[in-house]
Amino acid sequence: MCGLLGLICQNESDAADARAAVQNAMRCQRHRGPDEHGAQHRGEAVFGFNRLSLIDLEHSHQPLSWGPPDEPNRYTMVFNGEIYNYLELRAELADRFGAAFATDGDGETILAAYHHLGPSAVGRLRGMFAFLIWDSKRKVIFGARDPFGIKPLYYAVGANGVVFSSEKKSILELADVAGLRPSLDRTALQHYLVLQYVPEPESLHREIRRIESGTSFTVSPGGQLVTERYFSPQFTSRPISTPGDSARLHHEIAEVMRDSVAKHMRADVTVGSFLSGGIDSTAIAALAKQHNPDLITFTTGFERQGYSEVDVAAESAAAIGVKHVVRTVSADEMMAAMPLIVWYLDDPVADPALVPLWFIAREARKHVKVVLSGEGADELFGGYTIYREPLSLKAFEKVPGALRKAMGRVSTRIPEGTRGKDLLRRGALSLEERYYGNARIFRDDQLREVLRTFDPHVGHQDITAGPYRVSADWDPVTRMQHVDLFTWLRGDILVKADRVTMANSLELRVPFMDPEVFKIASQIPLEEKITRETTKHALRRALAEIVPAHVLNRRKLGFPVPLRLWLRAEMYDWARGIVNDSKTDELIDKRAVLRLLDEHRSETLDHSRRIWALLMFMIWHGIFVENRIKVDVPEPQYPVKI
The annotation places the binding site at: 106, 373-374
Quick one: three-class SS letters along 418-457? Answer: CCCHHHHHHHCCCHHHHCCCCCCCCCHHHHHHHECCCCCC
- Angle value at C-alpha 532, between 530 and 538, nearest 5 degrees: 35
Would you tell me how many other CB atoms lie within 10 Å of the CB of residue 326? 18
Catalytic residues: 2
The 3-state DSSP class for residue 64 equals strand
Eight-class DSSP state of 252: H
Check if the beta carbon of residue 334 is closer than 8 Å to that of residue 615: no
* Cβ partners under 8 Å of residue 5, min gap 6: 22, 25, 26, 29, 39, 47, 48, 49, 78, 163, 164, 165, 166, 170, 174
Distance separating alpha carbons of residues 19 and 237, to the nearest angstrom = 52
Strands (E), 261-369: 271-274, 296-301, 323-328
Distance of CA 297 to the CA centre of its chain: 21
Amino acid at 136: S
Which stretches of 382-534 are DSSP H helices?
Answer: 389-392, 401-413, 421-427, 431-434, 444-450, 461-470, 476-486, 488, 494-502, 515-521
Query: What does the alpha-carbon distance between residue 17 and residue 507 come to, in Å, rounded to a whole number?
Result: 33
Distance CA 79, CA 74 (A): 16
Q: How far apart are CA 80 and CA 97, in angstroms?
A: 26
186 and 160 in contact (C-beta within 8 Å)? no
CA separation for the pair 325, 317 (Å, rounded): 10
Report the binding-site residues for L-glutamine: 106
Q: Which of 626, 186, 187, 193 is nearest to 450 (CA)?
A: 193
135 pairs with which residues across the strands?
75, 140
Helices and strands (DSSP H and E) totals, the chain: 28, 17
Collapsed DSSP state (helix, strand, coil) of residue 510: coil
DSSP 551-613: HHTPPP--S---HHHHTTTTTHHHHHHHHHH---TTTB-HHHHHHHHHHHHTTSS--HHHHHH
Q: How many CA atoms are closer than 13 Å to the CA of 44, on its beta-carbon side?
A: 21
- Please list the helix, strand and coil fractions of the chain in percent, rounded to the nearest 5, in that order: 45, 15, 40
Which residue from 259, 297, 260, 265 is spatially nearest to 281, judged by alpha carbons? 297
- 3-state class (DSSP) for residue 128: strand
Using DSSP's 3-state secondary structure scheme, residue 515 falls into: helix
Phi, psi of 155 (to 5 degrees): -150, 160
Feature table: binding site for ATP? 373-374
Using only C-alpha atoms, the chain has a radius of gyration, in whole angstroms, of 24
Identify any residues that bridge with 328 across adjacent strands, giving them in sequence order.
301
Longest dimension (CA), the chain: 76
